[in-house]
C-alpha cells in the first residue's frame, strides 16, 4: 500500500488496485480482475453466496469431504506425520473436517494457511486454535499466485496442500497450470495436493448458481464498483450496471459481467480517467472454469503429480482429487 498525495481522497490508495483498474478499464472489452471482489464487504457477500440454495459448490464439496476426510488424511500421510497447508486463509468448516480427521490420527497437527491478507490469517489462526485443540497454526503471508516456497519439513513428516473450493476455477487454464506447477516445485516427493474442482453440468444449474434469486451474487458483482468508488474516488453508479452470468460453452466457463444500461461517463479523478460507457457495454469481472471428468487429473499429471484418488458426489457435480509428488 502506498500513499498517493491526493487532496480529495482521505484514504490510502493501493497501487495494485489503481494499476489493475487502469489496465482493465482502458482495455476493449473492459474487464476487472476478480480479486477485486474481496474487500471486507465482498468477502461477507461471498460467505453468503456459499449458503445460497442455488450455489451447490460449497455444500457438495463439504459432503464429499465429510464422507472421505479420514481416507484422504490416511492416504496423504501413509506412515508419516502430516502437515496441512491451505492456499487461502481457511474456508472454515471444510478445513475443519480435514484438521479434525488429522488430529484424530496423530493428536497434533501443524496447519499452514497461505494468504495475502494478514488479518484473514490472524482470524483463521484464532478461530482454528480455539475450535480444534491439537492444531498449531503457522500462517504464511504471501500471494501464492506469484509462486512460493515452503520450509523443509522434518524427516517422517509429509505435507498435504489443500486447494479446495473450486478456487483454481477462477484462473485461466494456463495460469491454473502455472500455480499447480509452483505448488509441485515447492513440495517434496511423497507430499500431496488435494484439489477441489467444479465439474461441467447442465447449464441451468450453472447459471442459477451464479445468478441467484435473492440477488446476492448481483450485489457481490456490483460491490467491485462500490470498492473502486471508495478506494479510488470514482463516481460509478453501481445500480446502473446489471449483473450478468453467461455460460461460455466453448471455454467451459461461467463468465460474470456488469452490463451498463444507458450511455454514461464515469470519472476516476485519482487516476485522471474519464471513461465513456456505451449502452449495452459490459465489464467482464470473473471467469469460473468448470472441469470435465479427468481434466484436473490430467493437469496435475502434466505438472509432476501422480493422481492417487478422485471422489465425487452422487450427481457427479464436483470432484476432489488427491495427487502425490512422485
Binding residues for ligand AVI (CB under 6 A): 49, 57, 165-167, 169-170, 210, 217, 286, 288
Nearer to ligand AVI, 100 or 285 (CB): 285
Nearer CB in complex with ligand AVI: 219/273: 219
> Residue 42 Cβ, how far from ligand AVI at the closest point, in Å?
10
Q: Which is nearer to ligand AVI, 191 or 286 (CB)?
A: 286
Residue at shortest CB range from ligand AVI: 288
d(CA 61, CA 148): 26
How near is the Cβ of 57 to ligand AVI at its closest, in Å?
A: 6
Cβ atoms of 158 and 193 closer than 8 Å: no
Closest approach, Cβ 302 to ligand AVI, in A, equals: 22
Please enumerate in sequence order all residues whose Cβ is within 8 A of that of 204, keeping only pairs 6 or more positions apart, or say none.
Answer: none
> Is the Cβ of residue 74 or residue 255 nearer to ligand AVI in the bound state?
255
Q: What is the dihedral of CA 262, 268, 271, 272, to 10 degrees?
A: 80
Q: How many CB atoms lie within 10 A of CB 302?
A: 12
Rounded Cα gap, residues 92 and 181, in angstroms: 26
Whole-number minimum distance, CB 172 to ligand AVI, in Å? 13
Count the neighbouring beta carbons within 10 Å of the beta carbon of residue 294: 12
Least distance between ligand AVI and beta carbon 152 (Å): 31
Cell (9 digits) for 160: 498435504
Residue 46 CB, nearest approach to ligand AVI (Å)? 6
Contacts 24+ apart (CB under 8 A), 242-251: 243/211, 243/215, 243/217, 243/218, 244/211, 244/282, 245/207, 245/210, 245/211, 245/217, 247/203, 247/206, 247/207, 249/203, 251/287, 251/289
Amino acid at each position: 500500500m502506498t500513499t498517493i498525495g491526493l487532496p480529495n481522497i482521505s484514504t490510502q490508495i493501493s497501487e495494485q488496485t489503481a494499476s489493475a483498474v487502469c489496465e482493465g478499464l482502458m482495455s476493449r472489452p473492459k474487464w476487472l480482475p476478480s480479486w477485486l471482489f474481496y474487500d471486507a464487504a465482498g468477502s461477507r457477500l461471498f460467505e453468503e453466496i456459499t449458503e445460497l440454495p442455488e450455489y451447490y459448490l460449497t455444500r457438495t464439496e463439504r459432503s464429499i469431504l465429510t464422507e472421505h476426510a479420514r481416507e484422504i488424511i490416511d492416504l496423504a500421510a501413509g506412515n508419516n506425520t502430516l502437515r496441512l497447508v491451505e492456499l487461502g486463509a481457511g474456508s472454515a468448516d471444510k478445513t475443519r473436517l480435514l484438521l479434525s480427521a488429522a488430529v484424530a490420527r496423530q493428536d497434533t497437527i501443524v496447519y499452514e494457511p497461505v494468504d495475502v491478507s494478514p488479518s484473514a490469517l490472524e482470524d483463521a489462526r484464532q478461530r482454528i486454535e480455539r475450535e480444534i485443540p491439537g492444531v498449531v497454526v503457522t500462517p504464511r503471508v504471501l500471494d501464492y499466485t506469484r509462486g512460493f516456497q515452503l520450509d523443509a519439513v522434518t524427516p517422517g513428516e509429509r505435507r498435504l496442500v489443500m486447494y479446495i473450493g473450486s478456487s483454481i476455477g477462477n484462473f485461466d487454464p494456463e495460469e491454473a497450470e502455472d500455480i499447480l506447477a509452483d505448488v509441485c516445485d515447492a513440495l517434496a516427493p511423497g507430499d500431496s495436493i488435494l484439489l477441489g474442482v467444479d465439474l461441467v453440468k447442465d447449464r441451468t444449474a450453472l447459471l442459477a448458481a451464479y445468478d441467484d434469486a435473492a440477488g446476492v451474487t448481483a450485489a457481490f458483482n456490483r460491490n467491485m464498483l462500490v470498492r473502486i468508488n471508495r478506494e479510488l474516488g470514482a463516481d460509478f453508479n453501481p445500480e446502473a450496471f446489471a449483473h450478468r452470468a453467461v455460460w461460455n460453452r466453448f471455454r467451459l466457463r461461467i463468465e460474470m459481467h456488469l452490463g451498463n444500461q444507458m450511455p454514461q461517463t464515469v470519472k476516476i479523478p485519482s487516476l485522471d480517467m474519464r471513461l465513456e460507457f456505451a449502452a449495452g457495454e459490459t465489464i467482464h469481472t470473473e471467469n469460473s472454469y468448470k472441469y470435465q471428468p479427468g481434466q484436473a487429473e490430467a493437469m496435475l499429471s502434466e505438472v509432476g503429480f501422480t493422481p492417487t484418488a478422485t471422489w465425487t458426489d452422487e450427481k457427479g457435480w464436483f470432484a476432489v482429487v488427491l495427487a502425490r509428488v512422485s
